[in-house]
Amino acid sequence: MKRLTFTILISIILFTTIFSGCWNYSDVEEQFVVMGIAIDYDEKEKEYMLYAEVSRAKGGAEAETITRLESSKGTTLFEANRNLITRIGAKVYWGHTMVYIISERVAKKGITDVVGILNKLTQVRTDIFIIVCDNDSIDNIFEFEDPIHENVAQYLADLMKNFESSGKYRKAPLFKINQELASDEISLILPCITMEEVEKDDSDKEEGSGKDSVQKDEKPNKIIVTDGSCVFKKGKMVGKLNEEESLDALIVKKEVTKGYSLTVEEDMGVPNSSIEVINSNVKVNSTIDSKDNLILRIEIEIDADLVEIQSEDEYLKTEVREKIEKRFEKMLEEEIGKTIKKNQDEFKCDIFAFAGYVHRQQKEYWKANSNIWEDIYTDVQVSIKADVKIKSSALTFQPLKVGG
């Protein structure tokens, strides 16, 4: 009996991993791998526009790739996909597609169609990243030339993979979006990108180097930058969070828990300073008061390294450290409060999955009120308590000594 169970278990594991997927013979070089796809919608023609970044390896000892950008149209996305054949000469292969970019137009129209087809196409991986792009950049998003990455899709995939260190945008693979779209207890947010001319971005960060201005003369140098998050309600985009608000939302959602940085400006006797979060934990407690009102209490606990402080004081003294901690706590409480308020008032979208906490913690209340959750959510009283603990000071204890 034991042996039989063992055999069955092994067979199930083996068969499900090996026998899933379709099989037909084709040699690797016959594949035109589409690395990235961008989707736009033409309101007048009532047609989808599909921009594809198709890669092929050059023959030879080094794995160099040639990338071709092509676009096609179709009433449905699948038609547009097949119309690509007439432009490229072969059926494109979706098995290695990394990013799927949706224009804001499409996002506002509703993403269920465009995400739905990803689930139906047999070749698509479920970890394909979905990104929203603004309307003006969508048609030339793949024209961005990044000398470090072979193509835009790889750049965007790298961008998504490193989301946690930045914290200002979200990583949204297809499988996660499927879950969130299906769930009643959460509203979807997706990362946004846009294209920006380099000079604008550089002006306040770098002190204008000569080389950049020379390049500017040749052609307008546009780069892809992240642009906060899009908020969706029932599959339709209702608004945008900027980068700081995105960070606040992701902290509360517990999607970023370590590695990201927080910065405060000079205030409360604390100079400009940054901490690197080692670990952050969020607890959401829901209580019902005597008047049958829901109250949410968010407790944020953060352990951090004090990485940068623009001061020459001995900042590891207990009093100083406590002051810094206080400053960060105040900043977090204010900012997160504002972001939650914005969601409650403007979007009426529960992107933080508070519904889930209430569902788990106040079962009876949820049963009675789940159908009017949207109304409750917009009015719910949320209090935030941040607890920042500076555990260490990165590599050195002492500030840099400057002698006479």
Query: Which residues contact other proteins by CB under 8 A?
Result: 3, 14, 18-19, 21, 23-29, 31, 33, 55-65, 93, 95-96, 98, 123, 125
Residue 55 or 280: which CB sits closer to other proteins?
55
Residue 21 or 89: which CB sits closer to other proteins?
21
Distance CA 133, CA 138 (A): 6
Q: How far is the CB of 165 from other proteins (least distance, A)?
A: 22
Residue 19 or 214: which CB sits closer to other proteins?
19
Residue 157 or 355: which CB sits closer to other proteins?
157
Based on DSSP, count helices (H) and strands (E) in the chain, helices before strands: 14, 13
Say if residues 118 and 100 touch (Cβ distance below 8 Å): yes
Residue 46 or 58: which CB sits closer to other proteins?
58
Tokens of 120: 């139906």
Q: How far is the CB of 352 from other proteins (least distance, A)?
A: 34
Buried b / exposed e over 250-281, threshold 16 CB at 10 Å, is bbbeebbbebbbbebeeeeebbebbbbbbebe
Residue 31 or 339: which CB sits closer to other proteins?
31
Residue 21 or 404: which CB sits closer to other proteins?
21
Say if residues 321 and 341 touch (Cβ distance below 8 Å): no
Say if residues 97 and 50 touch (Cβ distance below 8 Å): no
The amino acid occupying position 9 is L
Q: How far is the CB of 190 from other proteins (least distance, A)?
A: 23
Counted residue by residue, the chain has a size of 404
Say if residues 330 and 322 touch (Cβ distance below 8 Å): no
Say if residues 65 and 150 touch (Cβ distance below 8 Å): yes
Q: Which residues lie below 8 Å from residue 214, measured CB to CB, with a gap of 6+?
A: none
Distance CA 113, CA 388 (A): 43
Distance CA 53, CA 69 (A): 5
Tokens of 370: 């789940």
Distance CA 50, CA 73 (A): 6
Tokens of 87: 């432009």
Q: How far is the CB of 34 from other proteins (least distance, A)?
A: 12
The amino acid occupying position 199 is E
Collapsed DSSP state (helix, strand, coil) of residue 31: coil
Say if residues 245 and 337 touch (Cβ distance below 8 Å): no
Q: How far is the CB of 223 from other proteins (least distance, A)?
A: 23
Say if residues 278 and 391 touch (Cβ distance below 8 Å): yes
Q: How far is the CB of 8 from other proteins (least distance, A)?
A: 15
Q: How far is the CB of 77 from other proteins (least distance, A)?
A: 20
Burial of 97 by CB count in 10 Å (0-12 exposed, 13-18 middle, 19+ buried)? Answer: buried
Q: How far is the CB of 13 from other proteins (least distance, A)?
A: 12
Residue 14 or 394: which CB sits closer to other proteins?
14
Residue 105 or 125: which CB sits closer to other proteins?
125
Q: How far is the CB of 24 from other proteins (least distance, A)?
A: 7
Distance, CA of 15 to chain centre: 34
Say if residues 133 and 141 touch (Cβ distance below 8 Å): yes
Q: How far is the CB of 23 from other proteins (least distance, A)?
A: 4
Q: How far is the CB of 123 from other proteins (least distance, A)?
A: 6
Residue 57 or 198: which CB sits closer to other proteins?
57
Give the residues across from 33 on adjacent strands. Answer: 55, 93
Residue 24 or 209: which CB sits closer to other proteins?
24
